Each structure stands twice: as C-alpha cells, then as structure tokens.
Structure 1
C-alpha cells in the first residue's frame, strides 16, 4: 500500500465547468511527481452540481477524495476543514479555477525540507486591471500590518508542513494570512515564482468589497491574534 506524504487540498465552490480540466491536471501531477501524493477536494456548499461531478471524479481516481459542507461557509472554512482532515506530512493548496497549475508544485517541493511554508508568487498575472489593482492594494495593507515581507500572500499555490497547518486558528479571512500565521509559530517561509493563467471557465468569487474591505478588517483581527498568540515549548 502506498504511503502518501503529500495531500493537495482543493476548495471547490461552484466550479463545475472547471472540474474535468482540474481532474486531468491533478492526475498528471500525481502520476509524475516523486512525492507520493493524493488529492482532497473540499466542496464548500456548491449549488451548480459540482458535488455530483466530484463524486464521479473520486470514484474513478483512487488517489482522489472529497468532503462536503452542508452549505457555503467560505474559502477560509474550506481550507481549515482540509487542513484538519489531512493525514500526510505535507499538504498543498490550490484553487479549482486553474489560474495556477499543479505542475508548479514541483517548483515548491524542493524547499520543503528547510521551510514550513513554501508559497508561490504569481508572475505576469493574467488578471483584469481592477482585480490586479485591488489585490495590490490589499497586499500592501497586509504587509503593513503583518510585516511578513511576502510579495503575494493571496497566491493560491502553497505547500505547508501539516503539523504547522493544523495549529492555524480558525477565523474568516485566514486564507489571506497563511505565511504570517506560520511565522507566528516561528516557522520558516519561502517564496518561489510560479506561472499564472487567465480564468477560462466559471466566475471569480471575490469582488472589490472582499478584496479590499475584507482584508482591511481582517488585518485588525490578525493584530489582535498576534498580540495574544502564545508559543509554548514542552520540557517533558
């Protein structure tokens, strides 16, 4: 029986039109990577038939599985559920829209021995002007508040040591602060340039309000948490 060391967590919310392409891309990665890998989809209360298609995908691929919410709880909840469910030493995160590619996990994996989180940095981003500008503003907010020196904290391609991921506290907006939350644990973080692609199908789940206003409010939540965060060490 294969002992897996890496699980890719894929949050899914109304991405039916992308799932077959995503299946193909993930399967190609799983079959070619030197890290024994599997895939965990987290259906975030999809209403477009995504869950039925995920059932079919997981039935025909032994390395794929999924868990499902009863209703839509948001990206942060989907990620946290995935983190809590994973049972491998390492976990990855990728969005279902395929604006990043599973192939680029191969660019991140060489660093997992020395770092607790390895995150992609999207180069030559294929976003609309409004989306790119709002992301740039939101990222500036985060850097100002967190001092994490990350260039692209919102990049949906990351690898995290599972023991660190499971310590991340649950709160709405946690997906915007993953590097900072690992740094709070005195973890080590690495940035690696990756490719970025235009969205081919489906619709973005984020608009101006949750790209700018949401991150701004979440920064205050993070500051409150940082001030009260406790790192303890056992002597026995």
Structure 2
C-alpha cells in the first residue's frame, strides 16, 4: 500500500548535536500506551549524553497522534512521523530509521508489551563494541504475556524459520532490537523484514548478540495479526528470505574469490 510520510513539529527541539541513540517506535492505534511508553523511554535513556525518540504513527484511526503531540510537551526529545495510511510494522520501522540521526537505533513495539527499561540491554553492547563487528542486538522474550494460541503459533513459526534459515535465534518477533543504523539501511527492504533481522544481519557478515528481555501484557490496542494471517504471509516470506540469504552467500563467495 502506498503511503506518504510527514514529520510533525521541530526536528531537533533540544540539542543540536548528534544523539548517541535513536529509539524508533512503530505505532498503530495505540493511544492508551503513548504516555507511559514515551516517559518510560526518556527515563531509560537518561544516562545517555543525548538521545532522540522517533514515534511513527502508521495511519492510526484513533487518538494516537494527538497523544504523541501531548507527550512531546514533556519529552522534547520526541520526534513524530506520520504515515498517511497504514503500511505495516516494517514500513514504520524503516521510516523511523531513515529519519534517525544516531549511528545506533533501537526499536520496541508501541503497545506497551516491551518494557522501556530493557532498552539499555540493546544499546550497551553496541556502544561498547570496539571491534565494530556487532551489527544487531536482538531481544529474546522471557515468559511471554500473550494468549496460549498466539504463543503456540509463534513457537511453531519460530521453529520452522530456525530450521530453514539457521539464524540461531528462538524469538525473532520480539520488538526490542538494537542495530547500527547504516547496516540496517543497507539491508534489502521488504514487508515483514523486521521478523528476519538476525538472519539478514548474519548473511551480510554482521555479528548478532542475543539478550533476554522481559515481556508485559498488552495495555492498549489489539494484535495486528492472526495466526492464520501470519502463517500465510510467513510461508511467502520464508521462501523470499531463503532466496535472499542464498544470494547474499553467493555474492560473498564471489567477492572472496575475486580478492584471493
């Protein structure tokens, strides 16, 4: 679906310098989660020298946008992007990362199920990496607070994906992820790519770090996916990502041979 992106308000209302971290939040009909989420992120990032929060309102039909505008009055590091129509989670994340000013981006879901207090677990390994080889830090949810059917559907999908892609992770659906901005933007973009980031980063020669994170019950909105809908999309995605990974390995082998 085609959509246009618009940034609302001043681009950098507090500090003119480059932030250490940009926190990107995809949001669609999450009005009830906005206030606590934004204030929680600001509290978690208080130890950084500078940060920004980029909330992407992905075509919400409720008062998500109005709540974001209100939150900016108390958290001036907040920037608001607005899609004219809903493009999906990957599109919202991609818009936010493209707008980010920091070399490191972290993401979390907009429904309140990812505790903002877990964010330092994402950016600390990236900030401390002196080798420059760590590209992605991926959260792995403990004691998921989802329905039984959703947990079972995710367990099956994660097992199938892990066997086919050999990505070494048991939970790619967790919204808590941290990565190098430039590395993320160099990856091929496609719908639902946020679920395949460990495999993609590994294919493009980046190291991936897994960290355990907490998970909370949903405080706002409703799930954007059904098990059936996720399964149908997942089959096509798996085929496409499998081809991408084989292509990436082929290109890497050709480059290595050419350099020999």
Which TM bucket (shorter chain)? over 0.9
Aligned to 1:141: 160
Deviations for 1:10-67, whole angstroms, at most 9, x for unmatched residues? 0000001111121221121132x33532100111100112112222222442210011
Distance 1:78 1:3 in 2: 22
Contact 2:39 2:75 in 1 (8 A): no
TM-score by length of 1: 0.92
Distance 2:161 2:121 in 1: 25
Contact 1:30 1:38 in 2 (8 A): no
Deviations for 1:145-178, whole angstroms, at most 9, x for unmatched residues? 2111111111110100111111122211101101
Q: Secondary structure at the match of 2:139?
A: strand
1:121 aligns with 2:136: no
Contact 2:18 2:101 in 1 (8 A): no
Q: CA RMSD in A?
A: 1.8
Match of 1:88 among 102, 112, 119: 102
* Unaligned segments of structure 2, at least 5 residues: 1-14
Match of 1:167 among 164, 179, 186: 186
Q: How many residues align?
A: 233
Aligned to 1:108: 122
> Kindly tell me: are residues 183 and 17 of structure 1, through their superposed partners in 2, closer, same or farther at Cα, counting changes over 3 Å?
same
Q: Secondary structure at the match of 1:166?
A: helix
> Kindly tell me: are residues 35 and 106 of structure 1, through their superposed partners in 2, closer, same or farther at Cα, counting changes over 3 Å?
farther
Aligned to 2:11: none
Aligned to 2:45: 30
Match of 1:193 among 196, 212, 215: 212
Contact 1:7 1:92 in 2 (8 A): yes
Distance 1:39 1:227 in 2: 35
Residue 100 of structure 1: CA displacement? 1.3
Q: Secondary structure at the match of 1:179?
A: helix
Aligned to 1:58: 72
Residue 109 of structure 1: CA displacement? 2.8
1:9 aligns with 2:24: yes
Contact 2:107 2:176 in 1 (8 A): yes
